[in-house]
Amino acid sequence: LVIIIMNKINNLVILAAGRGLRMKPLTNKIPKAMAPLNHSTLIAEGLKRFKKKIKNVHITVGYKGSMLAKHVIEYDVSSVLNTEGKGNSWWLYNTLLKNLDEPCFVITCDNIFNINLKKYESEYFNLNCPPCMLILTKPIKNLGGDYVFFDKNKNITRISRNIISNYYCSGIQIVHPKKINMHTKPTQNFYKVWSQLISKKKIKCSRSLIQNWFAVDNLLQLKIANKEKKQIKV
């Protein structure tokens, strides 16, 4: 029995296993999560702030995983999950976190944003703790992403890369691993997780949008992030 006190989310998973092919030649030497940002790294900027707010932080590693694991250990993370060669949702079904009977934040290491954690925790619990709640943002010119469609009750009805809407998936979500395992079949891709949940009307979206959101997908965007001194703030 897990008792969630005061609608508090105690776990965060940072997805940092990708190869970062669009950031070559930098990522020939280092994993994308270790790309330099404000005299630190993409992942360290987030860890320094999230560790003050969330009790347990878990990192998925893959490409150059040992290098990244060594880098994040100094931030006292709760676990490092080796997902090399696997998809971004593999950990949900194949690690000890699959038994987690409470919600957790999930973010990607390459997103930079300001977030009020308490606000989204409240939204999630007010939506009766669905298996998944996607946190949305407004589309940004020249940044690709998943367009999200939803009804008046915040039930997501479609997610598409090609059909345009006024809302993007920000790469930030709140998931309940045990509920997801109850309602979906194992898959290695979050898009397929979401598709299964859409078919069962088990996925919601946030009422509030993430502000000052930016994604680092290539070297030009990394240069912009450093020039404008973008930071992850929570």
The model's pLDDT over 48-79, given as tens digits with 9 standing for 90+, comes to 888 888 999 999 999 999 999 999 988 889 99
34: nearest Cα among 63, 13, 76: 63
pLDDT > 70: percent of the chain: 94
User: Which amino acid makes up residue 177?
Assistant: P
Helical packing angle, 65-73 and 42-50, nearest 10°: 40
Are 122 and 155 within 8 A, CB to CB? Answer: no
pLDDT at 51: 85
Q: Which long-range contacts (CB under 8 A, 24 or more apart) does 162-168 make?
A: 164/139, 166/138, 166/139, 167/136, 167/137, 167/138, 167/139, 167/205, 167/209, 168/136, 168/137, 168/138, 168/139, 168/140
Residues 6+ apart with CB under 8 A from 114: 210, 211, 212, 213, 232, 233, 234
Q: Read off the pLDDT of residues 194-206 as tens digits, 9 standing for 90 and up.
A: 999 999 999 999 9
Does the global pTM surpass 0.95?
no
Q: How far apart are CA 222 and CA 220, in angstroms?
A: 5
Are 145 and 110 within 8 A, CB to CB? Answer: no
Q: Read off the pLDDT of residues 164-184 as tens digits, 9 standing for 90 and up.
A: 899 989 889 999 999 999 999
Cα within 13 Å of Cα(121), Cβ side: 17
Q: Read off the pLDDT of residues 145-165 as tens digits, 9 standing for 90 and up.
A: 789 999 999 999 999 988 989
pLDDT at 24: 92
What is the 8-class DSSP label of residue 216? -
